[in-house]
Structure 1
Amino acid sequence: MKFAPIEDLFHIFDETAQILQDELSCTYLDALGETGENIFHGKVLQEEISELSQKRLMKHYQEFTLDKYQKEEIRKAYQLAILKGMKENIQPNHQMTPDAVGMFVSYLIGKFTHGQALLSMLDPAVGTGNLLYTILNYLTDKNITSYGVDVDETLIRLAYAGANLQEHEVHFFNQDSLEPLFIDPADVVVSDLPIGYYPNDLRASEYTLASDKGHSYAHHLFIEQSIMHLKDGGYTFFIVPNNLFLSEEAHKLNEFLKKHAHIQGLVQLPLSMFKNEQSAKSILILQKHKEGLQAPKEALLVQLPKLSDAARTKSIMDQIDTWFRQEKQVGK
């Protein structure tokens, strides 16, 4: 892919966000969400903008037409602008799933849902939507109805603008994902799980995976909520810490999973992607129980090498293809 279109797009997003940031006295991220909406509608929606700034904004907006750029070019340029905004205003919950991870999750979803042309997909921690849009841009052979939930208003506004710019139909809910969700069960739940403690002990107490003392692990509650919002036989693709099954609450999580789901696989992401071994993550693939559905004879357990190591990466991909042929009768 040429970089020129991505650079051009980033320049449009960045310049116009800075103009709106100054005019509206807001953060860069909030201004980016506003400019995303303006670009989609092809006009300045904010009434309080000075005439000079309106003219400057419209000059940039007229350079953008949706059919001029590919969806992935729009996603990557928008992602770069979001990353710039996150550096200005760092918060622990403002983190983006790396592209390589999103692409590999897309590949796995394609393999596990082979033969399913229609899918419904839920991301209960959608954030800016980057993981979801990577999947939607990659799985172009499927018709996917998507749902995204996030408690953070800034992030969900960015996700909403990003969906419009890439012309993805996504239903967004700005709420605490661990409160009741009024969403039909999905074929696939995908999420880069928020890690940490959930502060609402009263709400947590309604979950099987609530801690017996102190705050509960938010990521455990997200796993339970996700499985409850999955169709029988549906799949989850969670990005989880490598030490998920080593914590003091792991026994409870194991019992819950035995009762409700089959572990289909655990794919350890390259350690080179992370600052240190403690922050390393894996992709956990679960399938919700369904009458007549058997657990795999062997779960898919692989450790991905550095993706720059072509020979080892090919060897692992061959190993994964073999597993799919043996367990799922899915050919190359």
Structure 2
Amino acid sequence: MTTSTKTEDLFTYLDETAQFLEENGSVTYLEGIAEAGENLFREELCQTLLPDQAQILKEKLDLIRKEEFKAEEIRKAFQLVVLKGMKGAIQPHHSMTPDAVCLFISYLVNKVYGKQKEQLALLDLAAGSGNLVSALLNQATFPLQACGFEVDETLLKLAYVSANLQKHELQLFHQDSVEPIALLEVDLVVTDLPIGYYPKDGTAKTYELQATEGHSFIHHLMIEQAIKKTKAGGFLFFVVPNFLFESGQAKQLHDFIKKEANILGLLQLPKSMFKSQQAGKSIFMLQKKGEGTILPKQALLAELPSFTKKEALADMMKQINKWFENELHIL
């Protein structure tokens, strides 16, 4: 008989409770996950239910609430159950940064800031359900304070509940991050960019990267907003579509980035991660220009091997480490 892991135990609790609330309440499965997490955080039922329904949920909660979970176990359980919920969601923006990508970006962030002693400020302009920002907080080798913006209320609640259970101090804002945001400059931006057109032409007009005609690209506007909100010398990591520099507005984007930041690298994610070539994505690395910043002689351009091929991945990481040492003098 196989014993379940802590992550599996938590997944089962979240999944079964969310299903029960969906079947017996007026919530969606994704909303049910957030409510299940809130019950666990408060160690009591937060819903108004019939006595027999409340008893069923109380028994599920009693089975799990005495267990101690590590932050990564909580993040991974949430990731799995939210992924299940997203398969049934019809909203195209309901997607999640894959676990391997979160961990690889964490490695890159630790590479540039790993020896930092002072607390740094992190911004995610499209936090979603909080998977990427949680991974960064869990993996960081330096003190990190984070904030995230998310326009979707359900995803924001999931991020909030997940952060509470992981004991993260994560500031979350229910706001469109392309709109003006009252936020001090941060040291680091990490965002899995939403792709598509931004509908608010009036807001887009305040950006250098507004389209000359028609709607502007939301991913272009977010890159501009991110650079604006980053301190001189700060680093930015984006998950971007592979076609980022192929659109009619690509030159405008490239010229703006070159003016404001140093392009460090573009790492193409494994093709096997995506259903089609058009859906392929890359990790785009920038450093905002400032005193003491180094423009690399050669940007880091590479196609990452499958994350399941450990030897090839280890070899690639050696090459990346060598690039950081040679080009940015980071050991």
User: The TM-score by the shorter chain falls in which range?
Assistant: over 0.9
| Matching residue of 2:196 | 196
Residue 296 of structure 1 deviates from its aligned partner by 1.5
Residue 114 to residue 77, structure 1, CA distance change in 2 (3 Å) = closer
**Structure 2 unaligned blocks of 5 or more:** none
Is the Cα–Cα contact under 8 Å of residues 66 and 165 in structure 1 kept in the other structure? no
CA distance in 2, matches of 1:3, 1:226: 41
Residue 66 of structure 1 deviates from its aligned partner by 7.7
**Structure 1 unaligned blocks of 5 or more:** none
| Matching residue of 2:266 | 266
Residue 49 of structure 1 deviates from its aligned partner by 1.3
String of CA shifts for 1:66-109, please: whole Å, max 9, x gaps: 86122111111111111121122221100011101000000000
Amino acid of the residue matched to residue 225 of structure 1? Q
CA distance in 2, matches of 1:61, 1:183: 38
| Matching residue of 2:132 | 131
Amino acid of the residue matched to residue 110 of structure 1? N
CA distance in 2, matches of 1:52, 1:227: 54
Residue 291 of structure 1 deviates from its aligned partner by 2.7
Q: Compute the RMSD of aligned alpha carbons.
A: 1.5
| Matching residue of 1:283 | 283
Residue 121 to residue 214, structure 1, CA distance change in 2 (3 Å) = same
* 3-state secondary structure, aligned to 1:244: coil
**Structure-to-structure mapping, 1:135-174, within 5 angstroms:** 135-139=136-140, 141-174=141-174
| Matching residue of 2:26 | 25
* 3-state secondary structure, aligned to 2:64: coil
TM-score, normalising length: structure 2: 0.95
| Matching residue of 1:239 | 239
CA distance in 1, matches of 2:72, 2:186: 25
String of CA shifts for 1:35-89, please: whole Å, max 9, x gaps: 211110101122x211222222222222334861221111111111111211222
| Matching residue of 1:330 | 330
Amino acid of the residue matched to residue 244 of structure 1? L
| Matching residue of 1:58 | 58
Is the Cα–Cα contact under 8 Å of residues 269 and 304 in structure 1 kept in the other structure? yes
Q: Does 1:230 align with 2:230?
A: yes
TM-score, normalising length: structure 1: 0.95
Amino acid of the residue matched to residue 152 of structure 2? D
Amino acid of the residue matched to residue 108 of structure 2? L
| Matching residue of 1:13 | 14
Residue 226 of structure 1 deviates from its aligned partner by 0.6
| Matching residue of 1:36 | 37
The number of equivalent residue pairs is: 328
CA distance in 2, matches of 1:317, 1:65: 39
String of CA shifts for 1:235-260, please: whole Å, max 9, x gaps: 11000011111111011001111111
* 3-state secondary structure, aligned to 1:246: coil
CA distance in 1, matches of 2:289, 2:328: 16
**Structure-to-structure mapping, 1:26-105, within 5 angstroms:** 26-46=27-47, 48-65=48-65, 68-105=68-105
Q: Percent identity?
A: 47
CA distance in 2, matches of 1:276, 1:266: 19
| Matching residue of 1:302 | 302
| Matching residue of 1:180 | 180
Mean Cα deviation higher: 54-63 or 152-161: 54-63
Residue 3 to residue 232, structure 1, CA distance change in 2 (3 Å) = farther
Residue 319 to residue 81, structure 1, CA distance change in 2 (3 Å) = same
